[in-house]
Structure 1
Amino acid sequence: MCLSRINQLKTSLSVRLTLWYAVIFTVSAILVLAIFYRQVISIAMARVDEELAEEVREFADLYTDAGIDAVKMEMIEEIESDDENKIFRLLSFSGQVLATSGLAAWGKSLIPPPATAADVPDRNYTFKTMSDEDRESRTRWAMGKIGPNEIMQIGESLEDVEEYLDIFKKLMLMLLFPLILLSAAVGWFMARQSLSGVDQVTRTAEKITAGDYGKRVRVEKRFNEIERLSNAFNQMVDRLQTLLQGMREMTDNIAHDLRSPLTRIRGIAEMTLIGEQSEKKYQEMAVNTVDECDNLIHMINTMLDITEAEAGIGELEFEEINLNSLIESACGLFHTIAGEKNIRLVANLPDLPAVRCDKSKLQRLFTNLLENAIKYTPENGRVAILVDHGDRCMNIRIEDTGIGISEEDLPKIFERFYRCDQSRTQGGVGLGLSLAKAIAERLGGSISVNSIFNQGSVFTLTVPR
């Protein structure tokens, strides 16, 4: 069980983000502290250099005011006051030692060679650090001209500075450990906060998997990415629930609509088994059976077409289409049927611009709506086709003086297998308008309807240009 828990922690995104945050923070903290430590060293050494240079200037002023003897006396007083912390050495330009404090306490490795005029530029000071690896100590020296032929060398032990820097280093190392722990805690908190929305989506998905299809992720104003993920997940679940509901309804409707033709086919088959029939009778049964099978095949194919259009399956073949030619061709197909019912088919079209669309699907969509209008328009009626266009879309209106649609039926008119009461006397299974809507939306357009019961309907097809 412990191993399983460890493996879970290894693969946990929260743990990985926490470790990455802690590592990055630690490396950044070490770099910052290292840079800060170098700055402290520079500041400490600059203060030492400033103190040494100030003492060289004081000796130069003393030499100017009172001469070399006064400088020597001041050296003795400085030595007595600072013990072995400093060394003073007065030199000539040639490097000859004119006066000095005791050098034995420091050792040769911590004392530079005597300076000459070439080592010290005019009006400037030269600084040098001497070190002794065996004694693990260092000294800092300043050299400068104090008279026309004299050079002053002043050295100071860096033992106090190094002790201060050592304490400072230990404090930074002591501070680094709690900083690492703090960075891990902050990283864990930030990772949990960032991924809490993902956890919520996961828990919701698990509940939906268990059968609670009404469950949704609560969208909270936190991070834009999590908010977008929650919205996208909820929209996906809504879509899936709609599809599942549609599949249930489709299954119920198919079962209902398949029952009648299958019952008729079964009845025909039973009649052939009851007794001998004439050859003509058998031919009639065979024809009826073929017709019923064709109806079933047509209904199944239409259902597949609707499903493919709604799911976006299949590539669309876009091309430039002459809309005048397409509408006139469709009207020609239904001219004879309209003439049999004495229906006036009117298509007064202006010179329309071309549209870029899938020609076969647009033809099927338009002929479907035109067939529907003629089918439900009584004799001596009228079906008119009107087109207007804007910069981005074409609006094709098919107006009829047919039986119309009641207000109760209007919201459901595009549902699968839905048929109004007054349309049940006509043939069909109620899939035509569902297919038209699915194709229109697949083409990036839309379809709408306005209708007055017993006066007529207006179907408006909008397709992008």
Structure 2
Amino acid sequence: MTRLTRFTRTTAFKLSLLYIAVFTVMSGFLLVYVSENTDHLMSEQVVQSVDSELKGLADVYVRGGVRDLVETIDRRSRHPDASLYLLTDFAGNALVGNIARLPTTVLEEADGGLRRVRYTRLGQDSEDVERQAMVRTFELRGGFRLLVGRDLGDQLRFSNLLGNALRLWLIVVVVMAAITWLFVSRRVMKRIDEMSATSRTIMQGDLSGRLSVVGTDDEFDRLAVNLNAMLDRIELLMQSMKDVTDNIAHDLKTPLTRLQTRTEIALREAKGEDGYRAALEATLEESDQLLRVFNALLRIARIESMAPGSVMEPTDLSKLVAEVAELYEPLVEDEGGRMETDLPAGLRADCNRDLISQVLVNLIENALKYGRPEAGGLLIRLTGREEGGRVSLTVTDNGQGIPEKDQDRVKERFVRLEESRTEPGTGLGLSLVKAVARLHGGDLRFKNETPGLSARIDLKPVGPDNNRSGHEEGGTSGEPEQS
């Protein structure tokens, strides 16, 4: 009973009832309209037929008198059609015709009016079989009375047929509507129950649950695809929050412990002002490093929480890369290397200018620290291309590259490979690049060259409606993140 009550409260049930009612009313109206108009048309045909018969018989009577009229009626009465004839004398005795019995008032009211009567046909019906007809009665000279009519049997049978069709049609409509309602309701309820079950699973903490997509591309599939994309985003944000918490708990424990130990040693062993000053300077340096780590983590979190597209604008990448290259070219030359750029003029993309600048800065910093070749000078190349509906930016060095098994791992927070632990840094630079790439609908991808390593991100090209310059002046933002 509870299941039935729940079923009847659904929108599908209510809509089905509405559709059944509307379709039934419209079908009934259509059939009644057809039936009434058909009946009216057939009645007009009966009247025209009776009037035509009367006109012909009147002409016969005028030309040949009663004798010719009797012969004509007798001849026509022998045809088994729907026409009716009766000629009586002044005493009411039947002279000729094909009517065996009819109400006497019909002949008495010989006013030429059209009336519906019941009658028995001569020679074809038993005494208890009555038919219906439309007749006209006229009085002729000499007291003769002439009745001409048309049997309504065909019209009545057609009306009954339409009536039966109407009733059958309404029954079929209701039955088919009920079957359709059951099918649709069961299908809709099944999909909704599946969504509800998945939602309960997610609410219980299992963020990996997803709504099923059956592949019909109906409204439920489109809803499921959008909700699954939303759940992917929520799971990513929750996982990022968990990662940040774990990183803070594990990776910041060591510097905080070192800070505490140095303070305790200073309090226990430092002598004089110089000793305390040295301890305070070391403590301040360690605090600055912790603040840089926290700022980097907060910036990554802010980038990951941004809505894609909310901070994008058409940007001239050729000009942006040239500015970053101009900023870092002296530093690269001081390290004994050189920097090259290879971008087509006017290369544009929808992106966040400040974040893309930061990405280039971080990747160049990584190449400076970890991309030196074993022999020869360092070469850093900044390239950009538009292909496959995306715009790619690539930073390539000529160093040793990253082993393929570690290329995904180095993108995570605080991850630093063994060979790079002697270099200063926090292990958050590539995490920021990865977050910016995801914000732009892409990812950070590494590829080992021969020699060197290329790091690539993809951006969305500027559409025809947004082909305008916007906020393209200004330099890079902020200080580079340490990698």
Whether the 8 Å CA contact 1:378–1:403 is kept in 2: the answer is yes
**Other-structure match for 2:469:** none
- Select which of 444, 447, 461 maps to 1:450: 447
Which amino acid in the other structure matches residue 345 of structure 1? R
C-alpha root-mean-square deviation of aligned residues, in Å? Answer: 4.7
Aligned pairs (5 A) from 1:166-315: 169=163, 172-173=166-167, 176=170, 179-222=173-216, 224-271=218-265, 273-274=267-268, 277-313=271-307, 315=310
SS in 2 for 1:301: helix
- Check 1:261–1:183 CA distance in 2 against 1; reply closer, same or farther (3 A cut): same
SS in 2 for 1:459: strand
**Other-structure match for 1:321:** 316
Aligned pairs (5 A) from 1:7-406: 8-9=6-7, 11-38=9-36, 40-42=38-40, 44-45=42-43, 48-49=46-47, 52=50, 55-56=53-54, 59=57, 67-72=65-70, 105-106=105-106, 113-114=111-112, 140=134, 154-155=148-149, 165=159, 169=163, 172-173=166-167, 176=170, 179-222=173-216, 224-271=218-265, 273-274=267-268, 277-313=271-307, 315-316=310-311, 318-321=313-316, 323-324=318-319, 326-335=320-329, 337-339=331-333, 342-347=335-340, 352-353=345-346, 355-356=348-349, 357-378=351-372, 381-390=377-386, 395-406=392-403
Q: CA deviation at 1:384?
A: 2.2
Q: 1:303-333: per-residue Cα shift (whole Å, max 9, x none)?
A: 3333333343484252543634x43443454
**Distance (Å, rounded) in 2 between the aligned partners of 1:367 and 1:459:** 12
- Number of aligned residue pairs: give it: 425
**Distance (Å, rounded) in 2 between the aligned partners of 1:376 and 1:143:** 120
Which amino acid in the other structure matches residue 258 of structure 1? L
**Other-structure match for 1:118:** none
**Other-structure match for 2:421:** 424
SS in 1 for 2:252: helix
Gaps of 5+ in 1: 91-98, 116-127, 132-137, 145-150
**Distance (Å, rounded) in 1 between the aligned partners of 2:146 and 2:412:** 106
**Distance (Å, rounded) in 2 between the aligned partners of 1:329 and 1:168:** 86
SS in 2 for 1:384: strand
Question: When the two structures are superposed, what TM-score results if normalisation uses the length of structure 1?
Answer: 0.72
**Distance (Å, rounded) in 2 between the aligned partners of 1:30 and 1:345:** 87
Indicate yes or no: 2:408 matched with 1:411.
yes
Of 358-367 and 275-284, more deviation after overlay is shown by 275-284
**Distance (Å, rounded) in 2 between the aligned partners of 1:178 and 1:42:** 27
Gaps of 5+ in 2: 89-95, 118-131, 139-144, 463-483
- Check 1:451–1:186 CA distance in 2 against 1; reply closer, same or farther (3 A cut): closer
- Check 1:205–1:65 CA distance in 2 against 1; reply closer, same or farther (3 A cut): farther
**Distance (Å, rounded) in 1 between the aligned partners of 2:403 and 2:196:** 45
* Percent sequence identity over aligned pairs: 24
**Distance (Å, rounded) in 1 between the aligned partners of 2:110 and 2:269:** 134
**Distance (Å, rounded) in 2 between the aligned partners of 1:222 and 1:129:** 64
Q: CA deviation at 1:244?
A: 4.0
**Distance (Å, rounded) in 2 between the aligned partners of 1:196 and 1:436:** 43
Q: CA deviation at 1:348?
A: 5.1
Q: CA deviation at 1:45?
A: 3.0
Question: When the two structures are superposed, what TM-score results if normalisation uses the length of structure 2?
Answer: 0.69
Whether the 8 Å CA contact 1:378–1:402 is kept in 2: the answer is yes
Q: CA deviation at 1:259?
A: 0.7
Which amino acid in the other structure matches residue 52 of structure 1? V
Whether the 8 Å CA contact 1:321–1:355 is kept in 2: the answer is yes
Q: CA deviation at 1:386?
A: 3.9
Whether the 8 Å CA contact 2:198–2:209 is kept in 1: the answer is yes
